[in-house]
Structure 1
Amino acid sequence: MFGGLLIFNLDRYIVSTLKKSDKKINEIWQATPRIILAVIIAVVISKPLELKIFEKEIDQVLLEEKNQLTLQNQEQVAQLYAVEENAFAKAIQELKTEVQNKEAEVNALYNIYITEAEGTSGTNKLGKGPVYKEKREKHDAALADLNTLKITNAEKIAAIELQIATLQENEATQLASSQPIIDNFDGLMARIEALNKLPFLTSFFIFLLFLAVETSPIIAKVLAPRGEYDFKLAEREDLVKSWVTQQKAQQEILVKTDKELNNRVYADIAEEEALYAYKKKMARELMQQQADAFYKKQKGILG
């Protein structure tokens, strides 16, 4: 309501202050800034209406942008934690590979002492002799190391997996904390940008409608011939102008007359002997007082 009254009175002021002239070029020159102002008003008025009319379409555009922002945010957050996650995954794989290599070594030692007992390799003697015993002990020692390695690496893997879980929890927390920002991405500027992504023609026609409404009174005023109001306004302005000119002339005459009177008064006073004698007396007393004061000051300095 207030905005409508404000714009109405502003339009009324723009039209009422446009004066008719004998030359159309002068009227066009007067109308130019008013037309520019009318264009600005049309933009200001049409934009909120466009936002309301195309609200559903704007919401759809904003939804797509929010989804895109969500995906981008997920990718960016994932990149922040990717280095650490890859390092942890690599560490786990190295621990598993170490166990696998140790298992392969134990299996190889197992095959060696079994074939030694069967007499198919090594000494090629059937039975469990000293060589078999030596190879069996070597296998058993490697098997014990394997079991210890499995326990140790399992603990290390569990610790790393715990770190990975903590890292993933932090990642999820960061995503959850940033998501409300994306969800609230529907402010005025975001809606205007979304509106600009819609087909231009429909929005442009709405702007043209308000532009025509705002500029038509000014254009009609420029094209219309002089009317009764214009003649009365010109007459009133001439009357005020004449009165101001008269007052200014009278003021100048008063100032000039007052100046001449002052000159004559002071000229007459300057010729009076009594005034001359009085000023002479006062000047003499002033000079005497200055001389006495100077003497006292010098005497005080000399002691």
Structure 2
Amino acid sequence: MQRLRSFFLFCSGAHLPMLKRAPVETNKYAGIGGTIFFTGLLAAISGGYALWTVFNSLWAALLFGLIWGLMIFNLDRYIVSSLKKRDRFLQEFAMALPRLVLALLIAIVISKPLELQVFNKEIQAELITMEQQVYKTQEDKVKERYQARMNELQADIARLNAAIQQQAARRDTLALIAQQEADGTGGSRRRNLGPIYKAKKADADRAAAELADITARNQQLIAAHRQQLQSIDSIMKADIQQMGRGRLNGLAARLDALGRLTDRSAPICWANWFIILLFIAIECAPVIVKLISPRGPYDDLLQQHEHAFEIHRKLRMAQREMDYERRMEQEKALAG
């Protein structure tokens, strides 16, 4: 237990020999050091998970997580140790404000990968939907390249079929007129097979012959067009099958999926914000504790030490100036 406390005191950035002279402050600084240590540990886990998501390499993730955690640990340790208590809250707050902003940025950075892990199941389901949307977009783009020619061929087929139907309707009309002339229900209203009927029957026969000619010619063109449509459809399906359908599983895709989930679901959005605020509170806790805690014996000893060092520095500078002036006077005396 004593070793753990000593380790947390080291994490707090306090000067241990001086802190031993103020034992009542050890619990406070041990708590601050523990917060700094666990913040670095969470940063290591977060950074390692983020790199594993990108490169899917365990050893690289462990190495990067260790480096990232040590960097955040060292930065937090410096931030807290550099904050001095002087019984001037506004001045101390002004000094702590940049450190709080930095702690806020660090908290947001280290919280994001852990958010991805918390909502991993929901993100995986959303990634499947995103993959389908991406594949559908790619498929539509492939179809769009061939759609103009297919529409043109289909329009030609419809036009050729319409010509056949139009000629068939004309033949049927002329055949009906000839029949009505023969049975007296139309035309001259006389039942006979005379020259009028023969003329109308000749028109109907010519229309039938034209229909047979148009049908044969158009059916040949329609068959050629349909063959082209089948060929284009085969090429289009082959292009679609050759499309790379890779999985969306990278860090950017996961962040995008999380953004979609938070936009669509209010509970997930609130949960996401609570996680971010939790990490902000953890990251800012050492600075806030140091800021709101009253001035203690350790702060007095530290100020005395700094004041003594400042006095010593000024005395040495003054002594050097006096030595310099004395030397200059001696050189002038020798020169005179």
TM-score by length of 2: 0.64
Q: Name the structure 1 match of 2:205.
A: 140
For the pair 1:235 / 2:304, whether they are aligned, the reply is yes
Q: Name the structure 2 match of 1:102.
A: 167
Instruction: Please say if residues 103 and 283 of structure 2, whose CA atoms lie closer than 8 Å, have aligned partners that are also in contact.
Output: yes
Deviations 1:4-33 (A, max 9, x none): 333222222211111111322222222212
User: Mind listing any 5+ residue stretches in structure 2 that lack a counterpart?
Assistant: 1-43, 45-65
Distance 2:106 2:150 in 1: 57
Instruction: Please say if residues 116 and 255 of structure 2, whose CA atoms lie closer than 8 Å, have aligned partners that are also in contact.
Output: no
User: Mind listing any 5+ residue stretches in structure 1 that lack a counterpart?
Assistant: 269-303
Q: Name the structure 1 match of 2:19.
A: none
Distance 1:191 1:256 in 2: 74
Q: Name the structure 1 match of 2:316.
A: 247
Cα distance 1:99–1:243, how it changes in 2: closer, same or farther (>3 A)? same
Q: Name the structure 2 match of 1:184.
A: 248
For the pair 1:19 / 2:88, whether they are aligned, the reply is no
The share of aligned pairs that are identical, in percent, is: 34
Distance 1:94 1:263 in 2: 118
Cα distance 1:153–1:263, how it changes in 2: closer, same or farther (>3 A)? farther
Deviations 1:103-135 (A, max 9, x none): 1222233334445555666674634x5555544
Q: Name the structure 1 match of 2:275.
A: 206
Instruction: Please say if residues 127 and 254 of structure 2, whose CA atoms lie closer than 8 Å, have aligned partners that are also in contact.
Output: no
In the alignment of these two chains, the number of paired residues is: 265
Instruction: Please say if residues 174 and 203 of structure 2, whose CA atoms lie closer than 8 Å, have aligned partners that are also in contact.
Output: yes
For the pair 1:43 / 2:112, whether they are aligned, the reply is no
Distance 1:169 1:185 in 2: 31
Secondary structure of the corresponding residue to residue 180 of structure 1: coil
Aligned-residue CA RMSD (Å): 3.6
Q: State the structure with bigger RCO (CA 8 A, min sep 6), 1 or 2.
A: 1
Instruction: Please say if residues 113 and 136 of structure 1, whose CA atoms lie closer than 8 Å, have aligned partners that are also in contact.
Output: yes
- 1:162 shift after superposition: 3.2
One-letter identity of the residue aligned with 1:210? F
**Which one has the largest radius of gyration?**
1
Q: Name the structure 1 match of 2:61.
A: none
Q: Among 132, 155, 158, which residue is 1:90 paired with?
A: 155
Instruction: Please say if residues 51 and 191 of structure 1, whose CA atoms lie closer than 8 Å, have aligned partners that are also in contact.
Output: no
Cα distance 1:202–1:114, how it changes in 2: closer, same or farther (>3 A)? closer
